[in-house]
Structure 1
Amino acid sequence: MSASMRAVVVDQPGPPEALRVREVPKPTAAEGQVLIRVAAFGLNRSELHFRQGVAYSGSFPRIPGIEAAGVVEEAPGGEFPRGTQVVTMMGGMGRDFDGGYAEYVLVPARQVIAFTSDLPWHVVGAVPEMLQTANGSLTAGLDAREGQSVLIRGGTSSIGLAATVLAKLRGMTVYATTRRDAARPLLEVTGADHVLIDDGDIASRVRRIEPAGVDGAIELVGVNVMKDTLRAVRAGGTVCFTGMLSDQWTIKEFYPMDWLPNGVRLTAYSGEAGDLPAATLQAFLDAVAAGRATVPIGRVYRMHEIARAHHDMEAGTVGGKAVVLT
Structure 2
Amino acid sequence: MIIQKSDNLRISTFDPENFSFGNTFVDHMVICEFENGKWGEPKIVPYGPLGFSPAMMGINYGQACFEGMKAYKDKDGDVFLFRPEKNFARINKSASRLAMPEVTEEMFMDGIKTLVDMERAWIPHGEGLSLYIRPLIFATEEILKARISEKYMFAVVATPAKSYYTEPVSVKIAEYYSRSANGGVGFAKAAGNYAAAFHPTRLAMEEGYDQIVWTDDSTHQYLEESGTMNVFVRINDTIYTPPISEKILDGVTRDSFIQLAQSLQMNVQVEPISVDVVMEAQKNGTLREMWGVGTAVVTTVFKSFGFQNEKYDLPELSDEDSYALTIKNKLTSIQSNLCEDPFGWRLKVEKNN
TM-score range, shorter chain: 0.3 to 0.5
Q: Which has the larger radius of gyration?
A: 2
Which is helix-richer, 1 or 2? 1
